[in-house]
Structure 1
């Protein structure tokens, strides 16, 4: 079992890319689309081969984190970077870990896609070694489930399980993405996740054991850290503020549970299916919009403002149903006076939800259209 995987820095990438010409993926992968080629496909293939991680698993983790978009090296909400979302914040240091494992500079891991993919694969392999996966186990896609759960970095086991479930759902359904015009494919495949200790962890959307649900009845109650919001309200609720997470659903939930974050929102909406997690009670003051905090409800939507692929119809409809309920409950106008973007709240420097958010459609849905 390898304990250290420092492999050669930038020169190793060149050698690994050559290997990608003959190695189409790591062990136990699905069939790769024969028409897929290009720099990103080469990066996934070479990183998978170098670190003995299934190629399809690396792609699925990256797709769940970023839709395979590096966002020009700009950080996510919790200071994660690139296709593989390598994180550097007070609680997580996968960026620094990747730099140590690959001997690549942090700047390259943040901004260069091939380096970032290689760093993500290196972290996955290091976690596999910590979990005791030997060569035979690494050949089974299902055996990587606890590793994937750990890669998400959640403190809450239920959130960690949700993160891993999302990746395995992607493996089951398949992935087809065209970041930058390059086609990247993971064929759908039947994989039985080996849950390990997570077999005894209740799924996040299983509310059967919850003591109570807060406010909106169609949301999952997963509270943020008390260090990230203020108890009570100093003003009446008059406004709904629309945000975009600049990160993944699971990552945002995990970040709001981290007491170092000093940020939160009342609700988080998932892109794929519109699932809603409620994290701060409506009667408490989430820290999401600076001057707007005392009088507003904040709704975060999974995704990145520069990538419209995250704004699915399921997300729009689920969020609009929530906003309609909030407006009815608190007497908020169902128009652009009562429903605003983060960028429109006075004293804020954020740009979300950005130009790809369809305001006309959203307001129509809020009003029952």
Structure 2
């Protein structure tokens, strides 16, 4: 693991917050030169604002909503946007949809073979080349040079103001219309609500202020203006559009959200698509975060294809606009595991796991977090990494499916920032006897080696929320082996391979320490990650653990929590209780996420009145076994509670003996 040198980000942020409420704005990092001296990023915003007559607070807040003022090494975002102002290159062709072998429904009794869909979509509005026309700066420089990029964004805002017939004005409120149109959506049906929602977020940022150190070390401050209250666009009532025949979107009122129903119809070749309807409330334990590996336009079109698959919500990158496709009571075919599908809500985010590295827009992060926080409250889903999971955390259903499970949203999704936006930040435990660790590297400084990006093979050095796991405390040691993902080979550094990765927010039992390295229990063995005292990539954590009950040498591990055969009524075939290829050995400990009831949702009929939930008497414990969650029978393990101090001492002694 390699971390960026030289910048004490935590100390700098402490000096910057709380946000400045008045007076001169301090200067920050350097990216260009003026009169022979390095020009700060802060000064670049101020100069561009003066040049084009845009209020500096407006320019700063729009940039914050698009990129959090980051440069991203001149790489494109997931939606082809560049630089702090997210100037979109509409001439970049869409990437081919990455096809995986995972069956999205995840029910081997009624397989739904994956298809290779047509994901062609109209190109986004080309703001990069429009900015080049307005400023005379070449597109190449607008992509690479953050100072030029900021100037291009200011020119676009001024151009929008002119097109609206409004003169330049020092009052930020007078720029609401130009701000609303900045993302440049080409969807006329949703543009009014999306534009208003985006502008509201920008002005909320102006009111609260913001301050941070960017990914290239620039120090930027947006002073707070708490008294600012801009008007809304008169068309903002279009935010939550629904027809008389369709339900209202299940979104919080402040979000731009529309109903775009997924297809539900019988197919000529038999069966039906592309989801299962369910009458009445269903238990929801998970909210699953995906990236769609394609554009918003393509995803919303695919959801309307009855031969494809389905999820509940799609989120757009440029402005955070949301389309809802399924009622939350219905079951989407999205996670590759029927048990998880039947107990989850799925969110697809516009973008590509390995295109543009880490750059998901702030607008999409914020919109997603507001939606998830709302859904979590409504459906009583805890805001932690045992319940808010990535598609890459969903287990295979049987040994045969483990190898092909999906890998999104991948290591570049900023889980720490996401949980801050959820209002449930990932925090360290102050308990001196903490016997778990939570993976929590500093996202801005943490960089890891990855391969498999785009056409080049090697991935650019980018911030990541993950740490690599080795079988010994050394960078030169092999990665931990995953017998399910790689039954005959070794784990790889591919961005699509989670066999030896631990991700931010995941909690693991401490298995030992040696110098700058920490060991955790992972997939039935010790796994070591670089965790130097001067720059920890983990923090102490508390929470219950499980270990095999006395007398058992190992415990079977499952990818779903299905009832025993005796629980199924006559006429309903019992689901096989097939364990995965892993076992949990005696003497090892794994974090307990929740105790899950044994259930199976019997579907497979077009008429939802024929569906039913079969409940068993055998509870399961959900554990963080590797990168993915898995299940063990409650009867096979014992729970080690937080306050079992004797057990803590035994664990520590055991860890020391194994060093």
Question: Normalising to structure 2: TM-score of the pair?
Answer: 0.38
Q: Aligned residue for 2:506?
A: 359
Q: Aligned residue for 1:45?
A: 46
Distance apart, 1:204 and its partner CA: 3.6
Q: Aligned residue for 2:230?
A: 193
CA distance in 2, matches of 1:102, 1:266: 42
2:218 to 149, 165, 182: 182
CA distance in 1, matches of 2:379, 2:217: 39
Distance apart, 1:42 and its partner CA: 2.1
Q: Per the alignment, in what secondary structure is the counterpart of residue 290 of structure 2?
A: strand
8 Å contact kept, 2:49–2:154: yes
8 Å contact kept, 1:320–1:365: no
Distance apart, 1:34 and its partner CA: 3.9
Mapping 1:13-92, distance limit 5 Å = 31=22, 33-38=24-29, 39-89=40-90, 90-92=123-125
Q: Per the alignment, in what secondary structure is the counterpart of residue 70 of structure 2?
A: coil
Superimposed CA distance per residue, residues 161-205 of structure 1 (whole angstroms, 9 cap, x where no aligned partner): 00000011111111212213332112111224244xx13522747
Q: Per the alignment, in what secondary structure is the counterpart of residue 83 of structure 1?
A: coil
8 Å contact kept, 2:211–2:220: yes
2:172 to 127, 141, 147: 141
When residues 126 and 73 of structure 1 are mapped into structure 2, their CA distance, relative to the original with a 3 A threshold, is same
1:159 to 180, 194, 208: 194
When residues 102 and 206 of structure 1 are mapped into structure 2, their CA distance, relative to the original with a 3 A threshold, is same
Please state if 1:222 is matched with 2:222: no
CA distance in 1, matches of 2:171, 2:229: 9
Q: Aligned residue for 1:280?
A: 325
CA distance in 2, matches of 1:261, 1:206: 15
Q: Per the alignment, in what secondary structure is the counterpart of residue 69 of structure 1?
A: coil
When residues 40 and 339 of structure 1 are mapped into structure 2, their CA distance, relative to the original with a 3 A threshold, is closer
Task: Give ranges in structure 1 of 5+ residues lacking alignment.
Answer: 1-29, 247-251, 329-333
Mapping 1:157-306, distance limit 5 Å = 157-179=192-214, 180-189=216-225, 190-195=227-232, 198-202=233-237, 204=239, 212-213=247-248, 222-223=257-258, 231=264, 233=273, 241-243=288-290, 256=296, 258=297, 266-267=312-313, 279-281=324-326, 283=330, 298-300=346-348, 306=358
CA distance in 1, matches of 2:155, 2:256: 34
Question: Normalising to structure 1: TM-score of the pair?
Answer: 0.64
Q: Aligned residue for 1:18?
A: none
Q: Aligned residue for 2:514?
A: none
Q: Per the alignment, in what secondary structure is the counterpart of residue 202 of structure 2?
A: helix
CA distance in 1, matches of 2:161, 2:408: 40
Q: How many residues align?
A: 308
Q: Per the alignment, in what secondary structure is the counterpart of residue 125 of structure 2?
A: coil
Point out the structure with the larger helix share.
1
Q: Aligned residue for 1:106?
A: 139
When residues 140 and 276 of structure 1 are mapped into structure 2, their CA distance, relative to the original with a 3 A threshold, is closer
Give the greater-gyration-radius structure (CA). Answer: 2
CA distance in 1, matches of 2:228, 2:378: 39
Distance apart, 1:48 and its partner CA: 0.9
8 Å contact kept, 1:81–1:110: yes
Point out the structure with the larger strand share.
2
Please state if 1:120 is matched with 2:153: yes
8 Å contact kept, 1:225–1:259: no
> Which structure would you say has the larger RCO, counting Cα contacts within 8 Å and 6 or more residues apart?
1
Distance apart, 1:101 and its partner CA: 1.3
